[in-house]
Amino acid sequence: MASGLSPMLLDRPLRGEITEVAVKDKPTLSPSKFVTYLACPVMYRWSFVDPRGRWYRTAKPYFSFGATLHKVLQRFHEQGGVGEVPKETLLADYEESWIEAGYDSPEESARRLEMGRELLVAYYEKQAAAPTLAKPVYVERMLRFDLGPFLLQGRVDRVDEHPDGALEVVDYKSGRDSVTEEDVRNDLAMCAYQLLLRRLHPERSVRATIHALRANQSATVGLTDEELAQFEESLRLLGEEILETDFAALKPAFKAVCLGCDFVPLCKRDPEYAAQWDAAQSEAAPEV
């Protein structure tokens, strides 16, 4: 067991935890898969179904930036947080963990490196100024639960256990400038994490928090049992739709999400989509 983590839940198995045998027998869906499908079923095909999509993925600076911060905060909380880890150690770990992939230039990488350093200092100081009795029980932990047609699976950034036994899933967002309770309530992943925790620990109350690192602010929402039941039913129906979709038969159609999508070259093999793409580019081109 990693140092600094509460033993209360880690010393006993999760109720309803899925065995590896069961995992192999059923399809697995995650919040990222649901979000991708809702954004664009064709993007889902290239991301999760058709192996050709992997060759078109490119490194993105925001992925590298977020991945670095997540990894550093994971180790920070695993090692005990503010009470055990000096600020200088946190920052040294950050610089050693820096991922440079995706940046257009060394100068851009250096600017982002400094931005991340400032975010971590602000995060550390806020944690030090307002210590909490809650203790991390899961850090970067994969949770799974059987929803019937599929396994719901999600990796949580952190789950804290409060003195009253309540569980709070905390998700870091490195790209957000602000966050509200409505943002948390409407976030599919945060609802899914609450559903997972509630099903795995039915005796506990659960809530979800998004921590916007840029603003160094948080918002928290706890869904009621009725809201979780409604969400579970909607998620099950959406999952069945995904599993029944013939992705090879889908025809791409231009939409806003195409801008910046890695898979446009694949979609442009369809003549109708290629014409839509060219028309959109012509409309967006500045007049001279």
Spatial separation of the C-alpha atoms in residues 283 and 288, rounded to whole Å: 13
0.85 exceeded by the pTM?
A: yes
Q: What is residue 246's three-state secondary structure? A: coil
Do residues 171 and 205 make contact, with C-beta atoms less than 8 angstroms apart?
no
pLDDT on residue 144: 94
Q: Report how far apart the first and last C-alpha atoms of the chain are (Å, whole number).
A: 64
Q: What is the 3-state secondary structure (H, E, C) of 127-182?
A: HHHCCCCCEEEEEEEEEEEECCCCEEEEEEEEEEECCCCCEEEEEEECCCCCCCHH
The alpha carbon of 263 is separated from its chain's Cα centroid by a whole number of angstroms, namely 21
Q: What is the 3-state secondary structure (H, E, C) of 63-83?
A: HHHHHHHHHHHHHHHHCCHHH
Residue 154's φ and ψ, nearest 5 degrees, are -155, 140
pLDDT values of the chain reduced to their tens digit, one per residue, 288 residues: 334 444 445 444 444 343 333 456 799 999 999 999 999 999 999 999 999 999 999 989 989 999 999 999 999 999 999 989 999 999 999 999 999 999 999 999 999 999 999 999 999 999 999 888 889 999 999 999 999 999 999 999 999 999 999 999 999 999 889 999 999 999 999 999 999 999 999 999 999 999 999 999 999 999 999 999 999 999 999 999 999 999 999 999 999 999 989 999 999 999 999 999 999 888 766 554
Do residues 17 and 26 make contact, with C-beta atoms less than 8 angstroms apart?
no
pLDDT on residue 23: 54
How many Cα atoms are found within 13 Å in the side-chain-facing hemisphere of 281?
11
Taking Cα atoms as reference points, which of 213, 206, 134 lies closest to residue 179? 213
DSSP state of 269: T
Note the pLDDT tens digit of each residue in 160-191.
999 999 999 999 999 889 999 999 999 999 99
pLDDT on residue 282: 82
Q: What is the mean pLDDT of the chain?
A: 89
pLDDT on residue 159: 96
